[in-house]
Amino acid sequence: MLRKLLRYALPVLALLLVAGGLYLWTGQVRAPDHADVAYGNGSPSQKLDVWLPAGPGVHPAVIFAHGGAFAFGDKRMFGRGFRDDVNALNAAGIALISIDYRMSGEARFPAAVQDMKSALRYVRAHAAQWQIDPARIALWGQSAGANIALVTGLSTGAPLFDDPASPLRGVDDHVSAIVSMYGPTDFLAMDHQLALAGCSSGAQNHSAADSPESRYLGAQITTIAPRVAQANPLTYVTPASPPLLLQHGTADCTVPPLQSRILADRMVAVAGPGRAVLQFRQGASHADSGFDTAENMAVVIAFLRRAFAAPAHS
Which CATH number goes with the domain that contains 128?
Answer: 3.40.50.1820
Question: Which residues lie closer than 8 Å to 209 by C-beta, 6 or more apart?
Answer: 220
SS3 state of residue 62: strand
C-alpha to C-alpha distance for 115 and 156, rounded to whole angstroms: 14
Produce one character per residue of 218-227: b if its CB has 16 or more CB atoms within 10 Å, e if not: eeebbebeeb
Task: Give the rounded distance of the alpha carbon of 42 from its chain centre.
Answer: 21
C-alpha to C-alpha distance for 195 and 192, rounded to whole angstroms: 5
Tell me which residue range forms the domain holding 175. Answer: 32-309
User: Of the segments 16-25, 146-155, 305-314, which one has the largest average pLDDT value?
Assistant: 146-155
- Convert the pLDDT of each residue in 134-179 to its tens digit: 999 999 999 999 999 999 999 999 999 999 989 898 899 999 999 9
Asked, for residue 81, whether it belongs to a domain, the answer is: yes
- Convert the pLDDT of each residue in 210-229 to its tens digit: 999 999 999 999 999 999 99
To which H or E segment does residue 34 belong? strand 34-38
Asked, for residue 25, whether it belongs to a domain, the answer is: no
For residues 161, 243, 291 and 232, what is the CA-based torsion angle, rounded to 10 degrees?
40
| Residue 77: pLDDT band with limits 50, 70, 90 | confident
C-alpha to C-alpha distance for 32 and 52, rounded to whole angstroms: 8
With a cut of 60, say whether residue 306 has pLDDT above it: yes
259: left (phi over 0), alpha (psi -120 to 50) or beta: alpha
Asked, for residue 126, whether it belongs to a domain, the answer is: yes
Q: What one-letter code names the amino acid at 120?
A: L
Instruction: Please give the tally of structural domains in the chain.
Output: 1
C-alpha to C-alpha distance for 24 and 18, rounded to whole angstroms: 10
- Convert the pLDDT of each residue in 105-116 to its tens digit: 999 999 999 999
Lowest pLDDT segment from 4-13, 28-37, 276-285: 4-13
pTM of the model: 0.91
* pLDDT given at position 312: 66
Asked, for residue 59, whether it belongs to a domain, the answer is: yes
Asked, for residue 212, whether it belongs to a domain, the answer is: yes
| Residue 17: pLDDT band with limits 50, 70, 90 | very low
User: What is the average pLDDT across 277-304?
Assistant: 97
| Residue 22: pLDDT band with limits 50, 70, 90 | very low
Rg over alpha carbons for the chain, rounded to the nearest Å, is: 20
CB 50 within 8 A of CB 89: no
CB 282 within 8 A of CB 250: yes
Task: Give the rounded distance of the alpha carbon of 170 from its chain centre.
Answer: 24
Percent pLDDT > 70 in the chain is 90
Lowest pLDDT segment from 17-21, 64-68, 95-99, 239-243: 17-21
Kindly report the average pLDDT of the chain as a whole number: 92
CB 292 within 8 A of CB 262: no
In 3D, which of 199, 300, 191, 202 has the Cα closest to residue 250? 199
Task: Give the rounded distance of the alpha carbon of 130 from its chain centre.
Answer: 22
Task: Give the rounded distance of the alpha carbon of 261 from its chain centre.
Answer: 17
Asked, for residue 272, whether it belongs to a domain, the answer is: yes
Asked, for residue 78, whether it belongs to a domain, the answer is: yes
Question: Which residues lie closer than 8 Å to 155 by C-beta, 6 or more apart?
Answer: 113, 117, 161, 236
Asked, for residue 36, whether it belongs to a domain, the answer is: yes
